[in-house]
Amino acid sequence: MLPVISYSITNMSTLTTSFTTSASEFICPTCQKRYKKQGGLSRHLSIVKRYNISHSDLDKLPETNNEKFKSILVYLIHRKLTHGFKKGGHQLVSLACTEHQFFDIFKGYIHHHSNRNVYKCIFRGSAGYQILSEILNNPLWGRKFYDEEQQTYVVLFNDPPEHLKNNPLAIATRCATESIATHRRKSRYNPGEVIIEWKIKGEKDAKENYCEAGFIYIHFWVRQI
């Protein structure tokens, strides 16, 4: 049995298409943001599109290189899918990575880009899992098997509908059913989402010599069954 991260074909979608729910909401397939009107979602998608236009110094990298880099990401994520996460827990993978490399792999899915050159991708829900499978070229990127049918996996929840978001009962139910100790609002990283960021870390020595490196940060939540 593979609950939670199994998904139905009907929920699969690409960035450029969207799907509606029965309550006629318009949902971004990647970050699961919900909009009451088609126009709201269109605006969201056109902002996302703008973040994902390559600037001239970020030309395309060889596909063989990208494949290798994706394998590195999957390997590092798998190293965090250890035994013993019955209650679930927050995990972080970070590694040095050029802006060029980050952009070439995640372009199309960058949902925030600040002036300080910080990129951010947000993935939620089963559609988010599927999109990451396509980006990373590996449907098992977020799942590691152990003996006796046990597995540790990356948890991706669908967001609760907007009208239930601030409903304490709905929140309590959601927390209970998801059984993850949530530290919502205290952390920028919420259970059930995968946040992938890229930013620069720099330092100056006593003589003001500056050096810097770009880093990729992958925040996610794991659980074991």
Please state the closest distance from residue 190 (CB atom) to Zn ion, in A.
15
Q: Is 155 in the site for Zn ion (CB under 5 A)?
A: no
Q: Which is nearer to Zn ion, 86 or 165 (CB)?
A: 165
Q: Which residue has the tokens 């899918």?
A: 81
Of 20-28, 75-83, 135-143, 199-207, which part binds Zn ion (CB under 5 A)? 20-28
Q: Which helix (H) or strand (E) holds 193?
A: strand 193-204
Of 33 and 219, nearer to Zn ion (C-beta) is 33
Nearer to Zn ion, 12 or 76 (CB): 12
DSSP 159: P
Q: Which pair of structure tokens corresponds to residue 26?
A: 């318009």
How far apart are CB 68 and Zn ion at their closest, in Å?
A: 28
Return the range that interacts with Zn ion (CB under 5 A); candidates 24-32, 58-66, 99-107, 171-179.
24-32
Nearer to Zn ion, 26 or 69 (CB): 26
* Sequence-distant (≥ 6) Cβ neighbours of residue 112 within 8 angstroms: 51, 118, 119, 120, 122
The verdict on 97 binding Zn ion (CB under 5 A) reads no
Strand partners, 198: 119, 216
**Region from 4-12, 29-37, 73-81, 143-151 binding Zn ion, contact rule CB under 5 A:** 29-37
Tell me which H or E stretch contains 139.
Answer: none
Out of 18, 25, 26, 28, point to the residue binding Zn ion (CB under 5 A): 28
Q: Which residue is nearest to Zn ion (CB)?
A: 28
Contacts of 92 (CB under 8 A, 6+ apart): 80, 217, 218, 219
Half-sphere exposure of 199 (CA within 13 A, CB side): 15
Min separation Cβ 41 and Zn ion, Å: 8
Residues within window 31-70 making contact with Zn ion, judged by CB under 5 A? 31, 33
The nearest distance, CB 162 to Zn ion, in angstroms, is 14
Nearer to Zn ion (CB atom), residue 122 or residue 222: 122
Query: Which residues, other chains included, contact 73 with Cβ-Cβ below 8 Å and sequence gap of 6+?
Result: 93, 136, 141, 216, 218
> In this structure, what are the phi and psi dihedrals at residue 213, rounded to the nearest 5 degrees?
-150, 145
Which residues would be at the binding site for Zn ion (CB under 5 A)? 28, 30-31, 33
